[in-house]
């Protein structure tokens, strides 16, 4: 895995991310990438980042609508659609918060994601008002899109996890990453 260092390498990674091919590998590359932040490069690279996020937000919106339309009122399918959208937003949060970008750019990109999630959540709840039982609105509230920042392990690998795994492979005495989730053993 070669991390991006030049402007062209960053742009190539953003284009691959727009296409949606091999997201895990591309995001891991981007998280480890570096770039010299000069004036000309800064504006163009920031625009590429914004375009990538906008493209993926449009795809997220389209997929959410398609999945909700295909649910035909099935509550499980509705929840699955919202949780899938939330997972896609968590993935984009990693892209918006790339360490190679300055804090003000990262803050702006995270605000774009936050605003999208907030507006979409409000729209979902407003559309659920026509449901007299209140179940649909309850589903949307209990599976809130704005909670995307709390989604853990979008891929199961982030930079810190991959670094820990590399360290563990070199020194097997060091305990590995432990899950905070409950384990259920079925008979």
Token digits of residue 95: 């892209």
Distance CA 52, CA 57 (A): 9
Distance CA 176, CA 165 (A): 7
User: Tokens for 183?
Assistant: 């384990």
pTM of structure: 0.76
Residue 131 to residue 137: CA distance in whole angstroms:
8
**135-142 helix and 75-96 helix, angle to the nearest 10 degrees:** 30
Percent of the chain with pLDDT over 90: 37
The C-alpha atoms of residue 83 and residue 131 are separated, in whole angstroms, by 20
- Write out residues in the chain with pLDDT < 70, as ranges: 1, 152-187
> CB burial class (10 A; 0-12, 13-18, 19+) of residue 26?
buried
Residue identified by tokens 């070199």 is 170
pLDDT of res. 132: 80
Distance CA 90, CA 164 (A): 21
> Are the beta carbons of 33 and 3 closer than 8 angstroms?
yes
Which tens digits make up the pLDDT trace of 162-187? Answer: 344 444 444 444 444 455 566 666 65
Confidence (pLDDT) at 49: 93
pLDDT tens, 52-66? 999 999 999 999 999
pLDDT of residue 158: 40
């Amino acid at each position: 895995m070669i991390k991006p260092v030049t402007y062209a390498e960053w742009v190539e990674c953003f284009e691959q991310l727009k296409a949606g091919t091999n997201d895990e590998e591309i995001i891991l590359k981007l998280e480890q990438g570096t770039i010299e932040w000069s004036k000309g490069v800064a504006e163009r690279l920031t625009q590429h980042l914004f375009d990538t996020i906008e493209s993926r937000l449009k795809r997220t919106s389209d997929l959410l609508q398609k999945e909700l339309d295909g649910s035909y009122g099935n509550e499980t399918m509705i929840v699955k659609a919202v949780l899938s959208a939330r997972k896609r937003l968590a993935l984009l949060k990693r892209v918006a918060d790339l360490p190679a970008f300055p804090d003000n750019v990262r803050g702006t990109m995270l605000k774009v994601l936050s605003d999208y999630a907030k507006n979409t959540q409000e729209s979902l709840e407003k559309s659920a008002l026509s449901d007299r039982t209140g179940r649909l609105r309850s589903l949307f509230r209990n599976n809130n899109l704005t909670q995307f920042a709390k989604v853990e392990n979008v891929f199961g690998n982030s930079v810190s996890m991959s670094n820990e795994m590399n360290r563990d492979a070199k020194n097997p005495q060091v305990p590995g990453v432990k899950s905070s989730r409950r384990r259920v053993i079925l008979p």
